[in-house]
Amino acid sequence: MKLDRSCRPSQCLRVQFKTQIFLAIMLAVLLALTAYAARRARPPPETKDRLTAESMQQMVEGPMAALRKEGLPSGRAEFERQLALNRAQYGPRSVKIADLLTAFGVELYVEGLDTDNEAEIDASVDYLRDAIPAYRDAFGADSPEVAVALHSFADADIKVHDNRLTPEAEAALQEALRIRRVALGPNDRETRATEARLARARKEASAWPADSAGRAVEDAEEARRNND
């Protein structure tokens, strides 16, 4: 007589159940790995495109209208009123505050270039500088959004100083590059753009003559930083 080597019904059910659980776990792991690989393969979003030219124009339409009608002081006063209302509504650490500072800075810069108004270009740098800590408050110090603010400020600051790379602009570009290398990777388009901008600015920068006004300004800025 042959021995029956088949399992008992209860044992067979347990074996089948364990097998099904094992297969389900393996399938979940496979799906997770596939999703992870897809995310790694997909290029990261470009933070520099989060605020469009159209959206920034709309954000500060009122202050810019006041500026064009009555001059820079009126535009700045209208903007400060709008900024205060937004702070009261959304809180001082809201990204809306940072975006508003950036929008006004950019629009002042563009308007100043269009009308050859140096006062407006100079004022734009103040707002772009103020946007940097606002983005740190909203996103954290190592966010790519902070890198965008740093890069934007540096561009305007270089323009204000006759295309010369000031220590403040260089430090901003270096910080933006550090953030982007860590957050986005060394081969990301934004990272490479900051590398290229910094290299170009360093190459194009010419030393101020010893008796120039530019050298005097730079020496004063250096002394102020040393005393802070």
Cα Dmax for the chain: 114
Q: Is 37 left (phi over 0), alpha (psi -120 to 50) or beta?
A: alpha
pLDDT of residue 222: 54
pLDDT in the model for residue 205: 72
Contact 194, 180 (CB under 8 A): yes
Distance of CA 71 to the CA centre of its chain: 30
pLDDT at 17: 52
pLDDT tens, 54-98? 999 999 999 999 999 999 999 999 999 999 999 999 999 999 999
Integer-rounded Cα radius of gyration of the chain: 28
184 phi and psi, to 5 degrees? -110, -20
The torsion defined by the Cα of 181, 98, 159 and 107, in degrees rounded to 10, comes to 130
pTM: 0.70
Where the chain has pLDDT below 70, the residues are 1-49, 206-228
The percent of residues in the chain predicted with pLDDT above 90, rounded, is 63
Q: In the chain, which ranges are continuous DSSP H helix? A: 9-41, 53-59, 61-70, 72-90, 95-115, 118-139, 144-160, 167-183, 189-204, 213-227
